[in-house]
């Protein structure tokens, strides 16, 4: 089946003025945001996709950083046609602040017809990025969410006549929704659509806010059939289930999402595994108060930090050493923390057992 690369082969000759931006386009831009674009923006603040592609082709491989190789290949593919080649990229920022436990990056694409598309980067491989994600379970707002609002306000002020599309994949989708919900009323009126590609939801309190409720009808959320990340927290908006060529957690990979013509291949429901995992995690989190969630998260990442690795990629490259350091750190952990980790882990296992049993009962009743 086709994916975003096939979509570009098929549609890359048509400009955005000829065929307006669609959901698949916003996934493409969300994927582009994972590419660290510092080489392209080293000497200029604004450039077109074709120029960015040419700069990267002349850059030493060791100076190019990306999440997966497809992110770089996507840039080259985008540069080949009329649809993306002349699109202006600007407003690129990339902030990693371990002390604030913040990983944030955003990019603005100036499309035709006075539309600007703002895309927020999802979680990368850094421990800081993943720690910030876990912090969502006990903080009202994480640092990246606050910066997402500030970024939107700044770009809206820089281009006051442009209408706005917000998008992102994974945590980037969450940031796009948060920015749309908590920006000023004047900016919110200019937002055409918000696209959340398999990004986690929010607390029940956030969903009740006036800002969220006023943007909710303009939010489009897409999740693969075995979604895990996208089903986390609470979603009040309708979500569309799409087909992926991968299985389980690997369906989070946006390059596995199937595309047919100008749209994703849509399905009726998420699968049994996604339902069980969603129920497990929601029940588990619901059993813990905020202080317990915070203590558990801090303890887990404190143990992981003993590997001295900045990312999970580094940990994987030195797997044996990392495992040994993690076990050593766990052995040094005080008894109270060990007991807390054990109790909360047992609650997770009990939640999984209950979710599986409840699903089996539902299946029998349905059949």
- The proportion of the chain whose per-residue pLDDT surpasses 70, expressed as a percent, equals 88
Mean pLDDT, range 71-92, rounded to an integer: 97
Query: Cβ(142)–Cβ(132) under 8 Å?
Result: yes
Residue 312 in this model has a pLDDT that exceeds 60: no
Of the segments 120-129, 135-144, 202-211, 312-321, which one has the largest average pLDDT value?
202-211
Dihedral pair phi/psi, residue 101, rounded to 5°: 55, 55
Q: What is the mean pLDDT of residues 145-157?
A: 97
Say which residue, 223 or 135, is predicted with more confidence.
Answer: 223
pLDDT tens digit string along 181-222?
Answer: 999 999 999 999 999 999 888 888 888 999 999 999 999 999
Q: Average pLDDT for residues 114-125, to the nearest whole number?
A: 90
Average pLDDT for residues 23-32, to the nearest whole number? 97
Instruction: Supply the pTM of this predicted model.
Output: 0.87
For residue 150, pLDDT beyond 80: yes
Distances from the Cα of 116 to the Cα of 109, 159, 215, 351, angstroms: 6, 8, 18, 44
Which runs of E-coded beta strand occur in 238-353? 239-242, 259-260, 263-264, 266-267
pLDDT value at residue 329: 78
- Look up residue 202 and give its two tokens: 């929010």
Residues 6+ apart with CB under 8 A from 198: 169, 170, 173, 222, 223, 224, 227, 229, 230, 252, 254
Tell how strand 191-197 and strand 219-224 pair up.
Answer: parallel
| Length of the chain as a residue count | 367
Q: Is the pLDDT confidence value at 253 over 70?
A: yes
SS3 of residue 210 by DSSP: helix
- Positions of E strands within the chain: 46-48, 88-97, 102-111, 115-120, 163-169, 191-197, 219-224, 239-242, 259-260, 263-264, 266-267
276/198: higher pLDDT: 198
Q: Quick one: which of 241, 183, 192, 189 has its CA closest to 211? A: 183
* Centroid of chain to Cα 6: 22
Residue that wins the pLDDT comparison between 281 and 321: 321
Where does the pLDDT of residue 288 fall: very low under 50, low under 70, confident under 90, or very high at 90 and above?
Answer: confident
- For residues 162-166, average pLDDT: 98
DSSP H or E segment with residue 31: helix 23-32
- Mean pLDDT score of the chain, rounded to an integer? 86
- Phi, psi of 121, deg, nearest 5: -70, 140
pLDDT of residue 18: 94
141 or 173, greater pLDDT: 173
pLDDT tier at 316 (50, 70, 90 boundaries)?
low
Q: What are the backbone angles phi and psi of residue 308, rounded to the nearest 5°?
A: 60, 15
Distance CA 241, CA 264 (A): 9
Please give the share of the chain, as a percent, with pLDDT higher than 90: 50
- Taking alpha carbons only, the member of 25, 30, 157, 155 closest to residue 90 is 155
Average pLDDT on 104-110 reads 97
Read off the pLDDT of each residue in 328-337 and give the average, rounded to a whole number: 82
Per-residue pLDDT at 166: 98
- DSSP 8-class letter at 257: B
With bands split at pLDDT 50, 70 and 90, how would you rate the model's confidence at 359?
A: low
CB 119 within 8 A of CB 168: yes
Main-chain dihedrals φ then ψ at residue 196, nearest 5 degrees: -110, 110
Across the range 338-346, mean pLDDT stands at: 81
Spatial neighbors of 49 by CB under 8 A, at least 6 apart, are 75, 78, 79, 84, 85, 86, 87, 89
């Amino acid at each position: 089946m086709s994916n975003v690369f096939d979509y570009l082969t098929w549609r890359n000759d048509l400009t955005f003025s000829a065929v307006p931006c669609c959901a698949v386009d916003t996934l493409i831009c969300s994927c582009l945001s994972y590419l660290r674009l510092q080489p392209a923006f080293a000497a200029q603040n604004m450039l077109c996709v074709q120029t960015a592609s040419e700069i990267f082709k002349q850059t030493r491989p060791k100076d190019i950083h990306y999440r997966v190789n497809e992110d770089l290949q996507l840039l080259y593919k985008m540069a080949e046609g009329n649809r993306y080649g002349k699109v202006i990229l600007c407003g690129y920022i990339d902030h990693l602040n371990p002390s604030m436990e913040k990983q944030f990056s955003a990019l603005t694409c100036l499309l035709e017809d006075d539309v600007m598309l703002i895309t927020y980067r999802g979680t990368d491989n850094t421990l800081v990025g993943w720690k910030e994600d876990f912090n969502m379970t006990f903080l009202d707002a994480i640092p990246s969410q606050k910066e997402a609002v500030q970024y939107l306000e700044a770009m809206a002020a820089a281009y006051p006549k442009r209408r706005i599309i917000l998008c992102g994949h994974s945590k980037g989708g969450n940031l796009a929704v948060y920015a749309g919900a908590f920006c000023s009323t004047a900016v919110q009126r200019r937002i055409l659509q918000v696209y959340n590609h398999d990004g986690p939801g929010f607390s029940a309190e956030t969903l009740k806010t006036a800002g969220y409720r006023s943007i909710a009808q303009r939010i489009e959320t897409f999740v693969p059939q075995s979604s895990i990340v996208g089903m986390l927290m609470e979603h009040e908006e309708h979500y569309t289930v799409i087909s992926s060529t991968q299985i389980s957690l690997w369906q989070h990979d946006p390059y596995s999402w199937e595309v047919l013509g100008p749209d994703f291949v849509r399905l009726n429901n998420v699968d049994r595994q996604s339902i069980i995992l969603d129920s497990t995690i929601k029940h588990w989190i619901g059993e813990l108060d905020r202080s317990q969630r915070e203590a558990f998260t801090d303890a887990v990442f404190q143990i992981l930090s003993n590997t001295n690795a900045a990312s999970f990629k580094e940990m994987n490259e030195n797997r044996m050493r990392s495992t040994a350091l993690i076990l050593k750190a766990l052995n040094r952990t005080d008894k109270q923390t060990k007991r807390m980790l054990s109790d909360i882990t047992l609650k997770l296992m009990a939640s999984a057992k209950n979710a599986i049993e409840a699903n089996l009962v539902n299946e029998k009743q349905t059949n």
